A = this chain, B = another copy of it.
Amino acid sequence: MNNYACKEMSSTEINTNIKLPEPTLHRLPWYLAYVKIVQAQGVEYISSTQISRAIHVDASQIAKDLSFVNISGKTRVGYEVNSLVYVLEQFLGFTRQHRAIVYGVGRLGAALMHDSGLVQYGLEIVAGFDIREFQEENYINNIPVYHIDNFAEMRAALDARIGILTVPVHQAQEAADYMVANGIKAIWNFTPYRLHVPDNIVIQDTSIYAHLAVMFNRLGNMQE
Contact = CB atoms under 8 A, between A and B. Distances in A.
Interface of A: 16-20, 22, 25-26, 28-30, 32-34, 36-37, 40, 54-57, 91-94, 98, 106-108, 110-112, 114-118, 121-123, 161-162, 169-170, 185-186, 188, 191-194, 196, 200-202, 204, 206-223
B20 A193 contact: no
A37 B217 contact: no
A29 B162 CA distance: 24
A165 B213 CA distance: 17
A22 B211 CA distance: 10
21 contacts: A16-B217, A22-B214, A26-B210, A29-B209, A29-B210, A30-B207, A34-B194, A40-B170, A55-B193, A93-B213, A94-B209, A94-B212, A106-B117, A185-B219, A186-B215, A188-B211, A202-B215, A202-B218, A202-B219, A202-B222, A204-B212
A16 B65 CA distance: 37
Contacts of A108: 115, 117
A170 B40 CA distance: 9
Contacts of A37: 169-170
A33 B192 contact: yes
A65 to B, nearest CB: 12
A201 B110 CA distance: 32
Pick the most buried of A29, A32, A169: most chain B CB atoms within 10 A of its CB: A29
Nearest to A120: B209
A108 B123 CA distance: 14
Given A55-B194, A56-B196, A211-B188, A162 B219 contact: yes
A122 B26 contact: no
Contact of A94 (B22, B213, B223): B213
A112 B209 CA distance: 12
A186 B219 contact: yes
Contacts of A117: 106-108
A95 B98 CA distance: 37
